[in-house]
Amino acid sequence: MMKLIKGRKYNTDTAKLIGVVGEQQKLYSKRTGEFFLYFVDEKIVPLSFDKAKKIVKEKLDKKIYNNLFNKNGIEKVTLLLDSKVVQDARNEAVARNIRLNTLVEEAIRIFLDNKSIKK
């Protein structure tokens, strides 16, 4: 079952089934990390990360919750960035004698910290 909602594709055939969370509801995760509910009447409802987390905690096994949300360590992420930005980042990493991924992680952390300050 595939539906386009607000320009985003939700497809039960390509998404990962996380679990059955109600009599007629299944929770899915897209490859992008987005979550959605699928109802047997062929309705699809996109979920926020926090809402999906709450549903998994309340309706599914603790092991599933831990696998999805209690991740520790390193996670691989693929990003497509402008070549000039990448080159500038590489130059900065070399100048600071750190790895590129360390620089990117630091930049994301600074952005997220500043974002929470502005709220």
Domain that holds residue 107: 83-118
Query: Would you say residue 118 has pLDDT above 80?
Result: no
Is residue 26 within 8 A of residue 37, CB to CB? The reply is yes
Query: Would you say residue 75 has pLDDT above 80?
Result: no
Residues 52 and 89 in one domain: no
pLDDT tier for residue 77 given thresholds of 50, 70 and 90? confident
Domain count across the chain: 2
> How far apart, in Å, are the Cα atoms of 3 and each of 29, 43, 90?
14, 9, 40
Query: Would you say residue 71 has pLDDT above 80?
Result: no
pTM of the model: 0.66
Note whether residue 22 is domain-resident: yes
